[in-house]
Chains A and B, each alone.
Chain A
Amino acid sequence: MSMNQAFRRPWYIKTTNRNTTTITDPYYDVGFKKVVVAICTPFLEKNKKQAVVCGILPLNNIRNEILDIPLPYDGIAYLMDRHGKILLHPNKEQELRNSVYGLLTKERTTTVNNELNEYIFSHDHINQSNWFIIAQLNKSSVYEKINLQLIINLTIYGLSLLGFIFLNMLYTKKQNISDEKLKKTETLLNHFIDYGDRGILIADSKNKILFFNSLFTQYLRLNKLDINDTYLEATNNIFKIYDSKIHTQIYKKIAYAKHFKKSQEHSFEFIFNNETYYFEITILPVLSSDKIYQGLMILLKDATEKEKEEIYKKEQEDILFQQAKMADLGEMIAAVSHQWRQPLNSLSIMVGNLLQFRQFGRLSDEMFEENLNHCMTNIHYLADTIETFRNFYKPSKKCQKFQVDKAIDEVFYIISPHFKTLGINLEIKKDEREDMTCLNYKNEFQQIVANLMHNAKDAIIEDKSYSKTIEVEIKLLDNNFYISFKDYGCGISKKIENQLFQSFATTKKDKGTGKGLYLSKLIAKNKLMGSLSIRNYSNPTEFLIVLPSQKEENG
């Protein structure tokens, strides 16, 4: 193509005129022998036009691109120039004719939707050209779809509406129920405040009394008018039923309420009409979420019954201890008298002999001396015995060092006259290498041991066929002595297993008072800081004493 020819070409002229990228109308190119469009852009250097670069695209290529655009509602897409001439159309017959829509396009450069006859058109301008892409949709088919959609939408809407109404009704009902609940709660709360078993008073941070219920005034024997709209102060005499000492104490607690982290409970007694009443006073500081003191609540509870029960229980325990003491005393006297019987017997006969021989004039100096010496020996023995017993039964004032195995031996010695005649013996098993030294209350420990031995003896003598040995095993583990007592006697019946350590439980019908194990356990726990428990109920019957080897004095 010669340069002259090119200058006269329509694309050159058009591009030069517009001085921007330009797409030409389609034209028949003789070189290609095809309908083509030219896309040209001017080549600029230092803002001066130097040349025009041009690309030629066969129209058929574009046709395929455009006609392949899929459209719904039986729609078709075609290309049109600004004069309304159809450039490309799926139906080839329509090409180069004027489009029915073409004349209507007034807005040439923007996307517009329009309706015409039975079609809906939508066109879009292609940049840098005179071309428009037209989308033509079949009206009836569009509306058909739209109607269906509408019906579906309407149905959905209707259902939603129904649902909404239903939910709304439900919600309203729920609201009603919770309202009712709230009301009920409020009523109950009022009932609780008015008729509960606690007196309530609420005061703010400045101790102004905000609220109190009738029980509060009733409990403290006040008139409602006395404290209405007053302050929680000592001058108000709110706690006038208590004597001044307790009075001050209560106000002290109230004053300190600000510093409390949790509620404080105290029980105070007062006497009214010669009867003693107890009230549990709970002072409850009210704090906001950021722990700032907002005020306080005082709760009063009639604890008279509870308190009296406690006192009764304490009294019963005291009686029990008293009984135990008496029993101990009786036991001691029985043991002493038993221990004394034999030496007293020989003393009696010795002295009788001296007298008789003297009377018959047959008393030799030799016999006189011999008998008196025997008498002295016996008297010393009697004195020693009573000393031993006295030490055994008196409570230890403080912890002392002792050998555990020796202490058990001593117990056996004290009760041995009993045991020897019954043929019962004691077998102590221990690790010889272990140090048996213990710092604890010796006598209390020995009393528990004596009690267990007596029980074992009673079980053994039930029948002659039982083994007559009481087995004691001592083990030292982590600063605790574990001392087990085993006997193969009659055992403990199932019936009383559960109440073995309770007061007044006994296996021995009329013989036992049922305090032995109860008190032993109490002593083991409270005084020795150890424990007493049963390991096995029969064959062998086994009890276990845990004895701390170093009892802390202040414990």
Chain B
Amino acid sequence: MVDSKVLNKLSNIHVLIVEDDEMTAHVIHQSLNFYCKKVDIANNGIEGFELYEKNKPDVVIADINMPEMSGLEMAEALHEICPHLPIIIMTSYDSSENMLESINQGAYSYLRKPIRIEELQTALLMATKNIYNSSIKLEDDFHYDCSSKNLYDGYKLIKLTKTEKELVHLLMSNINKVVDFTTIESYVWQEKSMSIEALRMCVKK
């Protein structure tokens, strides 16, 4: 049994559920809506991808077998635009192919249906720990608060522009990883095209 205190850690989390079975989507929504900041529902992979681009949730829960676009195909597409996005896969089709593919697509967790709600909650908590465990320690007393997306020098807040904020957030989310150029372009600048000079200027500061 997951304690309500623990579940409160999810209060700042925005979740996207991608599931074609309406009843399942409904009951998961019923549970998550109780303690999460916001819960969105999509009925298939394409809808899920569109909703992600629109609402930028913190975490995605996806079924594998869905019409139009499977959960795994969607995960691949999502990770292209947002490599650090935690995705929890659930499936009623427990096969080694599905599991392997989930690993390859960098799924955060793999749940077999029928799932217990506690399992889902646990996976959700673990997947979003970087978000509610907000403070990331950096060199020279710098630290970054992920939930508020603020960068501190000691206790002093460093003021950043919106673009700078997004860039830092992206880099912080992928700490100890290399983030490639196109990812930065699509995440930080989104639809607007980014020039290499603009990025340089931004980083110099």
Contact = CB atoms under 8 A, between A and B. Distances in A.
A346 interface: yes
Size category of the A interface is 20 to 34
Contacts of A272: none
Nearest to B22: A346
A348 B117 contact: yes
Given A348-B115, A349-B115, A421-B65, A378 B30 contact: no
B175 interface: no
Interface string B13-34: 0000000010110111011001
Nearest to A423: B67
Given A342-B24, A374-B23, A421-B93, A357 B113 contact: no
Contacts of A32: none
B27 A356 contact: no
B24 A349 contact: yes
B114 A347 contact: yes
Interface in A340-367: 341-350, 352-353, 356-357, 359-360, 362, 367
B195 interface: no
Given A341-B92, A350-B27, A420-B67, A360 B114 contact: no
A181 interface: no
A338 interface: yes
Interface residues of B, number: 25
B92 to A, nearest CB: 4
Interface string A444-457: 00000000000000
B4 interface: yes
Interface in B31-66: 31, 34, 65-66
B186 to A, nearest CB: 27
Contacts of B27: 346, 349-350, 353, 371, 374
Contacts of B4: 359-360
B204 interface: no
B114 A345 contact: yes
A410 B30 CA distance: 34
Contacts, number: 71
A345 B1 contact: no
Contacts of B28: 349
Contacts of B66: 421
Contacts of B101: none
B118 interface: yes
Given A341-B114, A342-B21, A344-B114, A349 B31 contact: yes
Contacts of B65: 421
Contact of B23 (A346, A360, A423): A346
Given A349-B24, A350-B27, A421-B65, A357 B34 contact: yes
B162 interface: no
B15 to A, nearest CB: 14
**Interface residues of A, dominant DSSP:** helix
B92 A342 contact: yes
B192 interface: no
Contacts of A349: 24, 27-28, 31, 114-117, 120
A423 B28 CA distance: 25
Contacts of B30: 353, 367, 371
Contacts of B67: 420-421, 423
B1 A359 contact: yes
Interface in A422-452: 423
Contacts of A343: 23
A356 B30 CA distance: 11
A378 B23 CA distance: 10
A374 to B, nearest CB: 7
Contacts of A362: 34
A345 B115 contact: yes
A300 B113 CA distance: 68
Contact of B117 (A353, A360, A423): A353
A518 B168 CA distance: 65
A347 B2 CA distance: 19
Nearest to A347: B114
Interface in A294-353: 338, 341-350, 352-353
Given A338-B92, A352-B31, A367-B30, A345 B117 contact: no
Nearest to B120: A349
Contact of B118 (A352, A357, A360): A352
Interface string A364-405: 000100010010001000000000000000000000000000
Contact of B21 (A338, A346, A423): A346
A348 B116 contact: yes
A356 B117 contact: yes
Contact of B114 (A348, A357, A423): A348
Contacts of A352: 31, 116-118
B71 to A, nearest CB: 11
Interface in B115-130: 115-118, 120
Contacts of A356: 1-2, 31, 34, 117
Nearest to B113: A345
A133 B23 CA distance: 145
A500 B2 CA distance: 56
Nearest to A381: B23
Most buried by A among B1, B26, B117: B117
Given A349-B31, A352-B117, A356-B2, 17 more contacts: A341-B92, A342-B21, A342-B23, A346-B21, A346-B26, A348-B117, A349-B114, A349-B116, A350-B27, A353-B30, A356-B31, A356-B117, A359-B1, A371-B27, A421-B65, A421-B66, A423-B67
8 contacts: A342-B21, A343-B23, A344-B113, A349-B115, A349-B116, A356-B117, A359-B1, A423-B67
Interface of B: 1-2, 4, 21, 23-24, 26-28, 30-31, 34, 65-67, 70, 92-93, 113-118, 120
Please name the 8 residue pairs, one residue from A and one from B, whose CB atoms are nearest each other, closest first. Answer: A352-B117, A341-B92, A421-B65, A345-B114, A344-B114, A345-B113, A349-B27, A346-B23
